[in-house]
Amino acid sequence: MAGRLTVCPTPIGNVEDLSPRARRALAETDLVACEDTRRAGRLYERLEIPRPRFVSNHEGNEAERAVQLAQQIERGARVVLISDAGTPVISDPGYRLIRACVERDLVVEVLPGPSAVTTALVASGLPADRWRFEGFLPRRAGELERVLRSAETVVAFESPRRLPDSLAALAALAPNRPAAVCRELTKLHEEVARGSLGELARRFRDQVKGEIVVVIAPAQAGVAGPDLAFAVDALRRLVQSGARPRAAASVVAALTGTRANDLYRALTGREPRE
C-alpha cells in the first residue's frame, strides 16, 4: 500500500479549532514529523489520542530528515507533518519534506486549518483583497522602508522583545499608516489593537508577552492630510542632502501614502510640471 504525507495544521491556541479531519489524521498516522516532540506529546495528551511515533523535523535537521521521511513514505508509511502551532511551512519547517515527496511523485495531502497569518489579516480590519506575508519584520531601516512601500497589506510576525523598537521605527517613517497588532490570537488573553503606527508605537512602548502578528495597511491606504507635515519634513531633509525634489517626492509618497504632487507643492510652493 502506498504511503502518503499529510500536512496537518494544529491549533494556534484554542484546541477546539482542530478540525475532525485533522484529528482523524493525527489518530490514524504511523509517524508524526514535528518541530518539538515534547510539544507534540502535549497536544496528543490534550486531544486524548494515543500517540504514535514522533520524529523531530526542525530547522537544524530538516534537509537530512526530509530524505529519510520520504523514503519511509515510499515504503508505505503514513506520515503526518505538524509544526508547533498553525500551518506547517508558513515560517515553519516542512518545505523540504514536501519537495522530497513531490520529487518522488508521492501523495501529499494538505489539510486546511488554523493560521495566525490569515486570522490576523481578517481581524485587523485592513484591506484583504491583496496582501503578502513578510515572515518576521526586518531589522534594518532600509528593509522597513521596503515594507512600507508595499501596495499590498503586509502581514508579519514579530517577537514580543522586538515589538516596541519595530513599531517605533515604522512610526518614524509613516506615523499615520493604519495598522494592527494582534497578540495571543485564539488564546485566553487575545488582543487586537488597531490604529495608526504612531498610536500603536505609543501604546506598545514596553515589552509584552505572547505571540505577535503585525498587519500594516498598503501605502495608498495612508491618510494624506495627517501624514503631510511629517512627509514634507522627510522630503525637505532628502532635498537638503542633495536629492532632486521630484524624485525625492516620489520616494516619500510611496513610503507615507501621501501624494507626490502635494508634497512637491508644499515644499516648493510651485505646481509640479507634468
Q: Tell me the per-residue pLDDT of 2-22, one tens digit each, with 9 for 90 and over.
A: 799 999 999 999 999 999 999
Give every CB contact of residue 2 below 8 A, 6+ residues apart in sequence. 76, 106, 107
Task: Please check whether residues 8 and 106 belong to one and the same domain.
Answer: yes
Tell whether pTM > 0.75.
Answer: yes
Domain count, the chain: 3
Distances (CA, A) of 58 to 74, 86, 94, 144, 268: 21, 15, 8, 28, 56
Q: What is the CATH number of the domain that holds 176?
A: 3.30.950.10
Q: What is the mean pLDDT of each run of 10 residues along the chain (274 residues)?
A: 90 95 97 96 95 94 95 96 95 95 96 96 96 93 86 96 93 91 96 96 93 93 50 82 87 79 79 66
Going by the DSSP 8-state scheme, the letter that residue 129 receives in this structure is S
Residues β-bridged to residue 181: 193, 214
Domain membership flag for residue 273:
no
* Residue recorded with cell 516620489: 250
Q: Where among 202, 221, 240 does a domain terminate?
A: 221
Distances (CA, A) of 95 to 63, 67, 75, 187: 10, 12, 21, 27
At residue 17's C-alpha, the angle toward residues 79 and 154, to 5°, is 90
Cell of 102: 513531490
Domain membership flag for residue 141:
yes
- Domain, as residue range, for 244: 224-268
Residues β-bridged to residue 78: 4
The answer to whether residues 182 and 192 touch, using CB atoms and an 8 Å cutoff, is: yes
Give every CB contact of residue 137 below 8 A, 6+ residues apart in sequence. 144, 147, 156, 157, 158, 162, 166, 214
Confidence (pLDDT) at 197: 94
Confidence (pLDDT) at 229: 63
Confidence (pLDDT) at 225: 42
Task: Please check whether residues 190 and 135 belong to one and the same domain.
Answer: yes
Task: Please check whether residues 136 and 103 belong to one and the same domain.
Answer: no
Domain membership flag for residue 274:
no
Measured CA to CA, the distance from residue 149 to residue 257 in angstroms comes to 8
Tell me the CB-side half-sphere exposure of residue 130, using CA atoms within 13 A: 7
Residues β-bridged to residue 154: 132, 216
The distance of Cα 262 from the centroid of its chain, to the nearest Å, equals 33
Domain membership flag for residue 30:
yes
Task: Please check whether residues 251 and 177 belong to one and the same domain.
Answer: no
